Structure 1
Amino acid sequence: MLHFLRVREDCHKTISDLHLATLVHPALSPPPLQFSPDVLHENPVDATLRSTMRSRRSHAALLRLGIMAPICCEDFRLLPFTLLLLRLGIVALVCCLGCAREQQGEGPPSLVFKHPKLLSREEPLRALLAQFQRAHPHVQLQEEVLPSSSDQQHLFYVTNLEAGAADFDVFALDVIWVPEFRRAGWLHDLTAYLGPEGLKDFFPHAVEAATYAGRIYAVPWFLDAGVLYYRRDLLDQYGLAPPRTLAELTGAAQRILAGEANPRLAGFVWQGKQYEGLVCVALEFIRAYGGEVLDEQGEPLLTQPAAVAGIGALRALIAQDHVSPPWVTTADEETARHVFAGGEAVFMRNWPYAWALLNAEGSLVRGRVGVTALPGSEAHPGAPTLGGWHLGINRFSRHPDLAWELVSFLTSVESQRSLALAGGLKPTRIAVYKDPRAQQEDPALALFFPLLWSARPRPVTPFYLMLSQVLQGELSAAVAGIKPAEVALSEAEQQIRRILALTPAEERHVQATTE
């Protein structure tokens, strides 16, 4: 019998409290920590928590894994805070062990699949898992759905995998986590399972993120890329074509806003909140001007003219061009989608998942929406950021061969076709886009294929999470007008150089990407 289990809320909430306690109540906050780039002192919180872990890595090693940690403490004022964290940690550990015990014991082997809550319809995935269960009656398959927050998912995985948890087998990874988890030794090497064909039928950029030194550590599951949605009816009304450059987008938005004279109508909405979505948008603007965040040797390029121009153009949408509302600096994907779906925006940057929702029955903009490639500058084409999810196998899994059967099944052409047609997810297998039956049932596949093909990954490095944390803060300050773009980018580059200074030169290499 197939068991569909939601992850126990008490367990995940307790784990999250370890990370969020200091943000919730000021009385729980430790005294300010002073950062010194020259000296690293052991933090008693880190030392105590690591002593409970199976794998005892040094503080510097944790930094190299991309796990952020306090770097220096002054005195024993942290002791009460440390004891609080230890209490929370013990409760979380007991809770998780309880979850694990529920899956052990007599009976058929248990195969646990963890994944985030899907923004699209979930029924097609449930149907596929039921199909797998029928084909494997000797297996107790369990689906456990993690919170939708990517940060909470990452925290859960890091906490459990660092401790050598074996109570889940297959799990979905954000494309940016694969290098970090591979370097930490948490992913099974899947190369032998794939055989000589490897992942030739998959989008090359998605494969790059799962590959290191010719070895494959995850299989692309579904794909995302930044795209531009527009109100086709409004562009037709004003005799405008979909914009190819940022200047055309700004001009079209200004013309429509002036003509409509609707104070609730926004010209262009995007993801400006301080989180990973802002990094994706910023990278698209930087690349639209010919820039990059890091070169292939891992050297930061944020103070180069192209990067400054890109972030300056992003801020100008709000401050000078007045096509993006100030509240966009607090918007995520769903904020932007709800505004656009309500008929209150002309253009929107978002991911492909929004297409099916915008055209669903009851949508106010159904049949009036178009989608096209993100605009570039006069000298450079648009460069959408690659997103999506991979499936990996927990290195501590007790049933890796069985886990591979599930990964292979969920990433097969048939399964991806089902998730695309019934669930709205964009496949990672090229064959699905070329399937005449799939094209007939969902014409949007042909529409999205070239948009996804042109997507470029974020820097493929084990230290991406640390870089992203730095970028999120400084980019948020820049787009909100708190700091000039050149100042924010200069400070981000200085912080990134400090991070890189703590790592051996041979480990700073950024995997090359195909343009």
Structure 2
Amino acid sequence: MNIPLQKFALALCLAAGAAASPAATITIACGSTSNELEVCKKHADAWARRTGNEVKTFSPPANPTEALALYRQLLGARSTDVDIILIDAVWPGVLKDHLLDLKAYTKGAENEHYPAIIQNNTVNGRLVGMPWYVDAGLLYYRKDLLAKHGLSVPLTWAELGAGAKKIQAAERAAGVKDFHGFVFQAKAYEGLTCNALEWVASWGGGTIVEPDGTISINNAGAAGALNMAAGWIGSIAPIGVLNYGEEDTRGVFQNGQALYMRNWPYAWALLNAPDSPVNGKVGVAALPRGEGAGAKSAATLGGWQLAVNRYSPNAEAAVDLLLYMTGPVVQKDRAIKGSFNPTRPALYGDADIARANPFMANLREVFANAVARPSTVTGLKYPSVSQSFWDATHDVLSKEAQGEDATRRLEGKLRLIRRGQW
């Protein structure tokens, strides 16, 4: 069959163009800590080498409140600057309209993760995020100092307060002038919502808004929990804790300046790094329980998911990278190198992970029974609900209000936010 020369030449050009089509460039949000960025970049680069694509990393603000505001701005403008974004466990309902439905691409991979997390990431039947790691609040403690002063790990907040006061006084008398009994996240942001929810739930005070939509925060348990925490400020906790986020807290504890710390699992790997002043001196336990009827140990459920920007021009390549990053090989390495808790139940029986992070197996019940923030029931109004809660809590911690007045006023504000139905 004869082909005209011009058509033959055109066919060659088209074939050459198809063979030389430019590889996709995918920008992925990896997190904000140096350890997280390092591990994320390593695996993203490995995927790029395997697929012939290019990967760029993006570091969102460390403050979750600021990160959410940035994402809402970018996605609202249909920006294509970031293809894969890192979303908090409470964001799927807020960002759902701007995220790609992953169900058409996963080929059942979602069944390998904890069902509760997949359910959390499914909005109106659309799977908008794949689990990357699961979080819950933990109590870190200096096991060497507890042994030195003859104290055991506290089971109640009252025991924590008494032990912190005793050892703080002793260490300061011994010359450690900037030593504190307890540090936590008390800055006015989402992290304070997580901390305060743990206090309130541990006192049997509910979860701010219950799963059926009932506003429950105005009760004696919640008020007592907030008053308890206010008593720590300037006593066993520095006044500066009112401006602490996760990394501020970790810095103080890792420098050997605190007995107890509330933080997420990621801190374990950093605290035990070879150059860490507290390497080998740290223990991890469930958070203490409160007082009164319904008192229990409570940890806020956290965790982060990877989602694909609905407006990405390279959606298929982005999904392929997302599935690789949330796969078993990457999750195992992140657990070992960065103490990020896997979202795949099968990995909790892995000997390498258990050796690197003993607390993951020992405290598995903490993660299984963690308390969820009321993001599902409040939907798009959750950011306003959370901000109202952390503002009220910060007022109590700053001694500008008592717990009873703050919870009563908060109940009224939440009713205005609800305005009928969530």
TM-score range, shorter chain: 0.7 to 0.9
Q: Which runs of 4+ in 1 moved over 6 A?
A: none
User: Among 274, 281, 285, which residue is 1:368 paired with?
Assistant: 281
Q: Corresponding residue for 2:392?
A: 474
Percent of aligned pairs with the same residue? 32
User: Among 291, 306, 309, which residue is 1:394 paired with?
Assistant: 309
The answer to whether structure 1 residue 500 and structure 2 residue 413 are counterparts is no
* Superimposed CA distance per residue, residues 378-403 of structure 1 (whole angstroms, 9 cap, x where no aligned partner): 44221111222111111222333322
The correspondence of residues 78-93 of structure 1 with structure 2, limited to 5 A, is: none
Give 1:368 shift.
1.4
User: Among 153, 156, 159, which residue is 1:245 paired with?
Assistant: 156
User: Among 60, 69, 73, which residue is 1:155 paired with?
Assistant: 69
Q: Give the Cα separation in 1 of the matches to 2:254 and 2:351.
A: 30
Give 1:338 shift.
1.9
Is the 1:267–1:345 Cα contact (8 Å) retained in structure 2?
A: yes
* Superimposed CA distance per residue, residues 406-450 of structure 1 (whole angstroms, 9 cap, x where no aligned partner): 111000011111122223322222222211233345545434534
Q: Give the Cα separation in 2 of the matches to 1:205 and 1:380.
A: 25
Q: Corresponding residue for 2:405?
A: 487
Give 1:316 shift.
2.4
Superposition RMSD on alpha carbons, in Å? 2.3
SS of alignment partner, residue 420 of structure 1: helix
Where structure 2 has 5 or more consecutive residues not aligned to the other structure, the ranges are 1-20
The answer to whether structure 1 residue 318 and structure 2 residue 228 are counterparts is no
Is the 2:219–2:407 Cα contact (8 Å) retained in structure 1?
A: no
Give 1:376 shift.
0.9
Q: Corresponding residue for 1:308?
A: 223
Give 1:219 shift.
0.8
Going from structure 1 to structure 2, the CA distance change for 1:119 and 1:202 (only over 3 Å counts) comes to farther
Q: Corresponding residue for 2:194?
A: 280
Going from structure 1 to structure 2, the CA distance change for 1:255 and 1:499 (only over 3 Å counts) comes to same
The correspondence of residues 19-30 of structure 1 with structure 2, limited to 5 A, is: none
The answer to whether structure 1 residue 233 and structure 2 residue 144 are counterparts is yes
Where structure 1 has 5 or more consecutive residues not aligned to the other structure, the ranges are 1-105, 509-515
Is the 1:224–1:387 Cα contact (8 Å) retained in structure 2?
A: yes
Give 1:261 shift.
4.7
Q: Corresponding residue for 1:131?
A: 46
Q: Give the Cα separation in 1 of the matches to 2:60 and 2:155.
A: 38
Q: Give the Cα separation in 1 of the matches to 2:169 and 2:70.
A: 48
Going from structure 1 to structure 2, the CA distance change for 1:470 and 1:119 (only over 3 Å counts) comes to farther
| Partner amino acid, structure 2, of 1:256 | I
Q: Give the Cα separation in 1 of the matches to 2:393 and 2:34.
A: 26
Q: Corresponding residue for 1:72?
A: none
Q: Give the Cα separation in 2 of the matches to 1:386 and 1:361.
A: 29
Is the 1:286–1:310 Cα contact (8 Å) retained in structure 2?
A: yes
Give 1:214 shift.
4.7
Is the 1:301–1:307 Cα contact (8 Å) retained in structure 2?
A: no
Q: Give the Cα separation in 2 of the matches to 1:479 and 1:205.
A: 33
Give 1:227 shift.
0.5
Q: Corresponding residue for 1:329?
A: 242
Is the 1:410–1:416 Cα contact (8 Å) retained in structure 2?
A: yes
Q: Give the Cα separation in 1 of the matches to 2:401 and 2:392.
A: 8
Q: Give the Cα separation in 1 of the matches to 2:353 and 2:223.
A: 43
Between the two proteins, the alignment pairs up a number of residues equal to 393
Is the 2:184–2:249 Cα contact (8 Å) retained in structure 1?
A: yes
Is the 1:221–1:428 Cα contact (8 Å) retained in structure 2?
A: yes
Is the 2:141–2:259 Cα contact (8 Å) retained in structure 1?
A: yes
The correspondence of residues 207-226 of structure 1 with structure 2, limited to 5 A, is: 207-226=118-137
Q: Give the Cα separation in 2 of the matches to 1:223 and 1:384.
A: 12
Give 1:215 shift.
3.9
Q: Corresponding residue for 1:190?
A: 102
User: Among 352, 363, 384, which residue is 1:437 paired with?
Assistant: 352
Is the 1:171–1:393 Cα contact (8 Å) retained in structure 2?
A: yes
Q: Corresponding residue for 2:264?
A: 351
Q: Corresponding residue for 2:29?
A: 114
The answer to whether structure 1 residue 458 and structure 2 residue 370 are counterparts is no
Q: Give the Cα separation in 2 of the matches to 1:471 and 1:419.
A: 33
Q: Give the Cα separation in 2 of the matches to 1:269 and 1:140.
A: 41
Q: Corresponding residue for 1:270?
A: 184
* Superimposed CA distance per residue, residues 14-51 of structure 1 (whole angstroms, 9 cap, x where no aligned partner): xxxxxxxxxxxxxxxxxxxxxxxxxxxxxxxxxxxxxx
The correspondence of residues 399-438 of structure 1 with structure 2, limited to 5 A, is: 399-438=314-353
* Superimposed CA distance per residue, residues 73-97 of structure 1 (whole angstroms, 9 cap, x where no aligned partner): xxxxxxxxxxxxxxxxxxxxxxxxx
| Partner amino acid, structure 2, of 1:216 | L
Q: Corresponding residue for 1:201?
A: 112
Of 435-444 and 334-343, deviating more is: 435-444
Give 1:451 shift.
3.4
